[in-house]
Amino acid sequence: MSKIIASAAIRGAYKIVDQAEKKWQEAMDKWGAKEPVGFPNTAYYLPVIYGILGTKVEKLGDMEQIIKRCKALLPPPVREEHPLPYLAPALDAGMVTFFAEELLEAIRYLEQPDFYTKQEDPTDSNIWLGAADDVILRKRGVEFVDGTAPGFAAIVGAAPTNEIAANIAQELQQKNLYVFMASEYNGKKFSEQLVEAKVQIGWPTRLVSFGPDISAAVFAMGFATRAAMSFGGIEPGDYRKILIYNKDRIFAFVLPLGFVTDEWYANAAGAVNWGFPTIADTPIPEILPTGICTYEHVVSNIPHDKIVAKAVEVRGLKVSVAEVPVPVAYGPAFEGERVRGEDIYLEAGGGRTPMVEWVTTKRMEEVEDGKIEVIGPEISDITAGSRLPLAIAVEVAGREMQEDFEPILERQIHHLINYAQGVMHIGQRDIAWIRIAKQAVEKGFKLNHIGALLHAKLHQDFGRIFDKIQVRLYTEEDKVKEVVEQARAVYGKRDARIEGMTDETTDTYYSCTLCQSFAPSHVCVISPERTGLCGSYNWMDCKASYEINPTGPNQPVPKGETIDPKLGQWKGVNDFIYKASRQKIDHYNFYSIVNDPMTTCGCCECIAAVLPMCNGIMTVNREYTGQTPCGMKFTTLAGTIGGGLSTPGFVGHGKYNTCQRKFISGDGGIKRIVWMPKSLKEEIAERLKARAEEIGIPNLPDMIADETIGTTEEEILPFLQEKGHPALEMDPILG
Amino acid sequence: MAEEKENKSIDQISIELIEKAAKDGVNTAFDRAETMKPCPIGSVGSCCKHCGMGPCRVPLPKGKEETPEEKQKRRGVCGATAETIAARNFIRMVAGGAAAHSDHGRGVAELFLAVARGKAPGYEIRDEQKLMQVALDWGIEIGDRSNQEIATDIGEKALEEFGKQEGELITLRKAPLKRQEVWRKQGVTPRGIDREIVEIMHRTHIGVDQDYKSLLQQGVRASIGDGWGGSMIATELQDILFGTPAPVLGQVNLGVLKKDEVNIIIHGHEPLLSEMIVAVAQEPEMIELAKSKGANGINLSGMCCTANEILMRHGVPIAGNFLQQELAIVTGAVDAMVVDVQCIMQSIQTVAECYHTKIITTSPKAKIQGAVHIEFNEHDALKSAREIVKTAIENFSNRKGNIYIPDQQTDQIAGFSHETINYLLGGLFRASYRPLNDNIINGRIRGVAGVVGCNNARVKHNEGHVTMVKELIKNDVLVITTGCNAIACAEAGLMVPEAAKEFAGEGLAEVCEAVGIPPVLHMGSCVDNSRILIAATAMVKDGGLGDDISDLPVAGAAPEWMSEKAISIGQYFVASGVYTVFGVTWPTTGSKEVTDYLFKDFEDMYGGMWAFEPDPIKAAQLMIAHIDKKRKALGIDEARERVLYDMEMRRELE
């Protein structure tokens, strides 16, 4: 009986709007109309209101029009006998609920600034994280874009026991989904249940404790709405496109656990607008006919051990879960989990003991597929809290295998190991660092499982380029050191080869349309000297990816005739992007920020912007949340240029690309950089220094201003003049 | 034992009043239908009276096969064959129907223009959004211009369409592109609304067009000018002036009359005057006046399509459909019956004379001997309306003792315009036809049927309508309806959401329950059949059900048709690609060739074709069979696997 649902949703909407209005009145009396309000560090204001209505709520006074709008949209209650059609009014009421909840939450940020941790992790005293800021959105957004996270489950309420809560959470994690949590049932909250069950929560483990009230559910909708604007390039206010984008591309659903209140119904009805169905554990009425969601709208009375599988089916999501022979849970959701000091059973690398990871090619007869050897002590031979040296030597063989693929396989080791629950991995090559938790060891995890999971996963993902793989894990210091020596020699050769590759000596570039699941018109074309702006893909990766999956998102792009060697434009590339962008973009330049620069989906690592007064450019990385001299924070910049647009004066790029030789070479190259955040400068210091020396301005790094010098052009110009920054002497950048 | 006399209606209230009429010695259509049988030659289209040499009768010989020689001889004096005669008669019916609808549309356009120019006080532009939509559809500049300026252009453009001599009607652009191509290919794209009607009159004159295929082609052309032209203009402009209908609760049947109030029934078709009467009847002075005459108030109700218009927009109750017009007066409680045009029986004046009821004619086009005539002047509409209402009030005290108002009425939810359906299926933010298409594709809804049309005294009142509609919804076919069928369905209680559970198949009921709609959707009056065309087009555009109306799993019907308008409507349904079944009688059976051409050959030409089946259950089964045929062609006749999406499939999305 969807009439019951509609009636309840409309009642719930009335209550929440009423609550918001009262709160707003109180806040107005206390702070006045001019008091600024908003969620922390976001360019999307109150994102649902901004996305759907196109209205920016910046001050308390701005909320008045939203409250009026809510009241105008609130439908009359559903009549018992001969009701007027109620589905559409209930959906409208649900939408209004989200507007009102954003107002409530924004007022909470104003009244109780420390209510939420405002970071990725809970603190010892506070588990409520509040709204995801734009840094989190973009960082996590990449996972939505590349498919490592296909969607999220919005859980409200609580499970009957902590154990059931932990099981549901882990099942969702294993399906790679984010879990957004809000509200309570019977005095219990799902997030707290997880903490009590010793499950690590926070953004890194994808278990996001938004807030204790139902209104915190709106943070999930805000996340989804911003994804459509930032990655889908949809304009704020274009509500229909935003909602359809979510229906088609964000695989989210609502899991109410416990008694469904009017307010929960209102939120669930609202979520249907985004195409997010509700799957309940209680016997509430169902709405099975399809149309607004892809499949059913409300499905109920599902047992807890079936609820995740049911939800995934109802949402129409295909999740391929890797079968990996390890005794712990496994999947991308566990990548961000940490192993803290007191939990360590075994630690290796990280400067404490020598550690190295190395993939090398062998002849077919030298490799026995699936052979895993631990040479030296195994976990069973040591006690909790031990350290060991560790070398992970992976040997592959196969007809399609090329030396160039070795580093690509090697780079997988980091996240593949990290995917195992209770295992933390940092770094790569000879600076790797691993911690294995007591909890994992209790479940039976051993070092040989590292070999087993690498064997299974590398076969699964890269099976096309090799036939056989074996893994040796050395834990004796002598042997480890021996491997380190061999590996270092290979690393040196590899780096030299990559450094030597240029765009001119390469006839074929590679496309990357991985992001088209989220940004349908965006096409990256990656050349040796212009690596992917997301920082994840270089030319070699794309080449390998193409070999592995010839019909996949990385396709060879013949350069064809050169149209402009200086700005970096080729006919073959133009033809390709015209087609692949679905006729939205017909050309762009690889090496220019000023003239028709390359497009970005919105998940770029850095964004460069022209600073006309300084006759140069600045660049800012995603992690830097402060103001920049171009007048926009990273997130505003990303919002401006994301979604597959070519925006003269702005270009997205990878951190690595900053020090590549072709970096905006059409506009004068690296000499143009006059500002970047201090943290970015430190992060790329080594390569920046090398590149500066190469162009004969060894002190260039010191001439580049950062936020300690200023965050406006006026503030940094005197510094540049004092240092004699080369950009000031160059031709006018805007010619 | 004497054979029990069969009831003339399935509606209990009507039965009671037919009995009262007999008791009161009042002669009604029910009686006349019994005493006068239809002319057997005219009813099959075999009588030609287009010239002074006739009438010529060319009926098929009864009970034996005709030899070729006999067929050769079966001609009019001028030599016109039975085919030519049947086709002539048929398309003259189309001309009559198209003229009626289109003249209605012209009237609306004239008023619309007067309103835009500020020359029709009392009227205003109520639906600004629709004004903009029509401006966009018709390529009229919006810019910074005022509503008045935009409306003036729209009004002028609308009027031009009637007298246009060449090119294509602007409103045809609303049709699916493929349909427009079909019309061009068949040479039936109307040039102007009036021109095609006039050309029918010309071609059917003695000695002009004497090829039945050519005649029928022109019939198609004029009918398109009705459905996609005159009727559509009427609907669009009425929505702008009076508001686009939205869901509303109303009551239906003669029980809506009130013993202690001044009962005014507005009967006919055009909402121009009735809108004003609705406004005036609420004026305190009028209510005061009524009270001073001993009444407790003024009770408005509607009849026929005027009823549908004011129900859809204001929830004004409906007294009844075509065959209930005399019965309303038989209650003895109707103080005035205000009529304009179309489907008004001359006999209401005769019946009224047995009671106290005043029949007030209002249109200069439609007068009735003996009736009071208060002409409706659109430039001073309120004055006309006040005079009419006053006349009714003054008549209250003339009521005679012989009053019987049945104590029964039925509730109904109406107001399902295309815009409203679009909203109802997804709310303000996700409005679309997607859920309808989706549930057709997944089989919960088998298809959609437009069941429309009149009452016909030759068959039991409302029986064909209600039986057919019940059969359709039982088989999960969603019914959309207009006109007298809508009123019949409402009287039978099919138009409340609760009816879904009681009468509809499981799948359809589930969808109705989800959305909160009845299984039978009231889309308005008979000009509002244009809404059905727009709804069908919206289904095509939303995707998944082919790329033309003829691909959709839909069908049309008029089980109790009688008016020429019904023939024109049926013809434009067929020309739009819809399989359309008529009941009661078929006006071309005198020629097998003409009938076969309409019933069979049309399918290849237009994707839609006519059919005739007087048994409403069998007719419904024919429609369902056609719907199933279309489902099969679309490949949705079997359950589909649920598609689960991975990232690669998401990248493929446009």
Higher-confidence position of A321 and B69: B69
- Output the six-digit token pair for B21: 């009429």
Strands A207-211 and B248-252: unpaired
Tell me the percentage of chain B whose pLDDT exceeds 90: 92
DSSP at A600: B
| Mean pLDDT, chain B, whole residue set | 95
Residue B23 CB contacts under 8 Å (≥ 6 apart), including other chains: none
Q: How many CB atoms lie within 10 A of CB B139?
A: 10
B254-398 and B415-634 share one fold: yes
Q: What is the CA angle B578-B584-B585, rounded to 5?
A: 85
| pLDDT tens string A712-728 | 999 999 999 999 999 99
Question: In what side-by-side order are the strands of the sheet with B358-361?
Answer: B372-373, B358-361, B336-339, B262-268, B298-303, B318-320, B248-252, B410-414
| pLDDT tens string A67-113 | 999 999 999 999 999 999 999 999 999 999 999 999 999 999 999 99
- The pLDDT assigned to B3 comes to 45
Q: Select from B409, B429, B438 the residue whose CB has the most chain A CBs within 10 Å, as the one to mutate to test that interface.
A: B429
CB-closest option in A3, A239, A516 to B516? A3
Q: Which residue of B has its CA nearest to A552?
A: B648
CB B616 within 8 A of CB B559: yes
Chain A residues whose CB is inside 8 A of the B648 CB are: 552
Q: How much is the average pLDDT of A531-546? A: 83
Chain B residues whose CB is inside 8 A of the A147 CB are: 646-647, 650
CB contact under 8 A, A313 and B436: no
CB B567 within 8 A of CB B90: yes
Whether residue A22 is predicted with pLDDT greater than 50 in this model: the reply is yes
Q: How much is the average pLDDT of B385-410? A: 94
CB contact under 8 A, A91 and B442: no
H or E element at residue A470: strand A468-474
- Output the six-digit token pair for B254: 């003669």
| pLDDT tens string A29-39 | 999 999 999 99
- Output the six-digit token pair for B354: 């047995």
DSSP-derived 3-state class of residue B620: helix
Which range is most confident: A423-437, A579-593, B590-604?
B590-604
Q: How much is the average pLDDT of A51-69? A: 97
- Output the six-digit token pair for A443: 């479940």
The answer to whether B428 contacts chain A (CB < 8 Å) is yes
Q: Which residue of B has its CA nearest to A516?
A: B651
Whether residue A1 is predicted with pLDDT greater than 60 in this model: the reply is no
Q: Which residue of B has its CA nearest to A298?
A: B514
- The pLDDT assigned to A85 comes to 96
Least confident of A2-11, A574-583, B15-24: A574-583
Chain A residues whose CB is inside 8 A of the B430 CB are: 91, 240, 243-244, 273, 292
Please give, rounded to a whole number of angstroms, the shortest distance from the CA of B249 to a CA of chain A.
Answer: 7
Please give, rounded to a whole number of angstroms, the shortest distance from the CA of B552 to a CA of chain A.
Answer: 18
Q: Select from B651, B652, B653, B654 the residue whose CB has the most chain A CBs within 10 Å, as the one to mutate to test that interface.
A: B651
Q: How much is the average pLDDT of A171-196? A: 95
**What crossing angle do the helices spanning B564-575 and B529-542 adopt, rounded to 10°?**
10
For chain A, list the domains and their CATH numbers: 2-315 (3.40.50.2030), 338-499 (3.30.1650.10), 508-729 (3.40.1470.10)
CB A152 within 8 A of CB A180: yes
CB contact under 8 A, B514 and A288: yes
- Output the six-digit token pair for A134: 């734009």
Helix H segments across A361-476?
A: 406-418, 438-442, 447-462
Binned at pLDDT 50, 70 and 90, residue B223 comes out as: very high
Residue B606: CA atoms inside 13 Å, Cβ hemisphere, count? 28
CB A614 within 8 A of CB A727: yes
CB contact under 8 A, B424 and A85: yes
The answer to whether B517 contacts chain A (CB < 8 Å) is yes
CA A271/CA A237 separation, integer angstroms = 17
CA B227/CA B211 separation, integer angstroms = 25
B 467-506 near A (Cβ less than 8 A): 496-498
- Output the six-digit token pair for A647: 């925006």
Q: How much is the average pLDDT of B518-529? A: 95
Give the CA diameter of chain B.
80
H or E element at residue A348: strand A344-349
ipTM of the complex: 0.93
Chain A residues whose CB is inside 8 A of the B646 CB are: 147, 150, 317-320
Domain residue spans of chain B:
82-242, 254-398, 415-634
- Output the six-digit token pair for B346: 């001359």
CB-closest option in B429, B439, B649 to A95? B429
- Mention the CATH class of domain B415-634: alpha beta
What CATH number does the domain located at B82-242 have? Answer: 1.20.1270.30
Please give, rounded to a whole number of angstroms, the shortest distance from the CA of A89 to a CA of chain B.
Answer: 6
The answer to whether B641 contacts chain A (CB < 8 Å) is no
CB B459 within 8 A of CB B488: no
CB A92 within 8 A of CB A10: no
Please give, rounded to a whole number of angstroms, the shortest distance from the CA of B439 to a CA of chain A.
Answer: 6
Whether residue A465 is predicted with pLDDT greater than 80 in this model: the reply is yes
CB A469 within 8 A of CB A452: no
CB contact under 8 A, A91 and B429: yes
Residue A59 has φ and ψ, to the nearest 5°, of -130, 160
Q: How much is the average pLDDT of A351-356? A: 90
- The pLDDT assigned to B2 comes to 42
CB-closest option in B424, B434, B644 to A88? B424
Q: How many CB atoms lie within 10 A of CB A36?
A: 11
H or E element at residue A416: helix A406-418
Question: Which neighbouring-strand residues pair with A658?
Answer: none
Whole-number Cα distances in Å, B555 to A423, B172, B578: 64, 21, 6
CA A581/CA A680 separation, integer angstroms = 31
Whether residue B158 is predicted with pLDDT greater than 70 in this model: the reply is yes
Chain B residues whose CB is inside 8 A of the A290 CB are: 435, 438-439, 442
CB contact under 8 A, B516 and A313: no
Domain B254-398 matching CATH 3.40.50.2030: the answer reads: yes
DSSP string, B13-62: HHHHHHHHHHHHT---HHHHHHHSPPPTTGGGT-EE-SSTT--EE-PPPT
Whether residue B50 is predicted with pLDDT greater than 90 in this model: the reply is yes
- Output the six-digit token pair for B633: 């062609």
Q: Select from A2, A84, A583 the residue whose CB has the most chain B CBs within 10 Å, as the one to mutate to test that interface.
A: A84
CA A357/CA A370 separation, integer angstroms = 18
CA A408/CA B248 separation, integer angstroms = 65
- The pLDDT assigned to B309 comes to 94
CB contact under 8 A, A85 and B497: yes
Whether residue B298 is predicted with pLDDT greater than 90 in this model: the reply is yes
- The pLDDT assigned to B481 comes to 97
CB B304 within 8 A of CB B267: yes
Whether residue B654 is predicted with pLDDT greater than 70 in this model: the reply is no
